[in-house]
Amino acid sequence: MFEYCANPDTLEGVRWVSCYLTTAKHMMFYESFLVVIGLMLITVPCAMAFGFGGALAARSHVAPLRWIGKGYAAMVRGVPDIAFFLFVPLALDQGLEWMRHKVKCPDWDQPIRQGNDFVVCAQAKLPLGSAPQWQHETYGIILAVAAFAFVFGAFAAHVLSGAMNAVPKAQLETAEAYGMSRGQITRRILIPQMWVYALPGLSNLWMVLIKATPLLFLLGVQDIVYWARELGGSKTSAYAYPHPDWRLYYFLALLVFYLGLTKVSEIGLSRLNRRLSRGQATMAGEEQRKATA
């Protein structure tokens, strides 16, 4: 980064630190913070989509749909997260490769499962073996998002269906009396009103999601916890910047980051709550009405 960093062995004091903290490896550490935040921002809409689908399916009048919706929530909530974090990417990856294999290599005569090995033809690999590293990393992140969305979607589905049930029945009956169809009631009355009931549960989920990001490393995404452990571990002179065990300082930095993230989310969520309570027949909404009156 700086010109005087060319020869790390001769550096001392502030200069050593400034060079040390700007090595390419540290830059990857800093980037991983953005990866984690970005990943959460992508995961939330995906998980909400899963959750909405699950909640609406669980309320459906069509029995098979209802079974799927309820089964999805019950199954994912009942099985340890970590099992799904390992299962979903693996199953998705092998499932996609298997389908590509069937389409692209119809003449293949060897079995796909050879003992422990999962073997598909080279053209069916995802991404292709010759693809650059960034494509492999992006693919890994997409699989991670899918796993997170699948697991958190089930929790969101439960929260949302609870919130839908919490909307006063009288509201829905009134809508019916005005001649609205079921779809119209859901879109115009049920969904706008349920948010205020869903928010506490959803904000809980968001907090859990923030803290679950270290599970990313399990899926091969190099996240902030991986880098903190890797950079903080004691380094012999095989490295350009040898140092003793500094994991404590790196993990302190993570502590500050996570606390900061939690604080910012709390502020944001409480604002959202105030906004959603406006005009609602809840205690918070009633207080707002009295304050302005």
Which residues ranging from 18 to 47 are in contact with another protein (CB under 8 A)? 23-25, 27-28
Residue 167 CB, nearest approach to another protein (Å): 45
- Number of residues located near another protein, criterion CB under 8 A: 40
Q: Which residues pair with 117 in a beta bridge?
A: 114
Tell me 189's DSSP state. Answer: I
69: which 2 tokens? 């919706």
Yes or no: say if 50 and 153 are a contact pair by the CB < 8 Å rule.
Answer: yes
Residue 135 CB, nearest approach to another protein (Å): 11
Yes or no: say if 149 and 43 are a contact pair by the CB < 8 Å rule.
Answer: yes
Binding mask 143-182 for another protein (x = CB under 8 A): ----------------------------------------
Task: Please say which residue, 52 or 217, places its beta carbon nearer to another protein.
Answer: 217
Residue with tokens 């089964």: 71
Give the whole-angstrom CA distance, residue 250 versus residue 159.
Answer: 36
Indicate whether 217 belongs to the interface with another protein (CB under 8 A).
yes
In the list 184, 220, 251, 258, the residue contacting another protein (rule: CB under 8 A) is 220
Task: Please say which residue, 124 or 157, places its beta carbon nearer to another protein.
Answer: 124
The helix-helix angle for 63-78 and 24-59 (nearest 10°) equals 140
Binding mask 109-148 for another protein (x = CB under 8 A): -----xxxxxxx-x--x---xx--x--x------------
Yes or no: say if 84 and 150 are a contact pair by the CB < 8 Å rule.
Answer: yes
Indicate whether 229 belongs to the interface with another protein (CB under 8 A).
yes
Yes or no: say if 29 and 231 are a contact pair by the CB < 8 Å rule.
Answer: yes
**Radius of gyration in angstroms for the set of CA atoms belonging to the chain, rounded to a whole number:** 25
**Chain residues in the site for another protein (CB under 8 A):** 8, 23-25, 27-28, 90, 93-94, 97, 114-120, 122, 125, 129-130, 133, 136, 217-218, 220, 222, 229-230, 233-234, 236-242, 245, 247
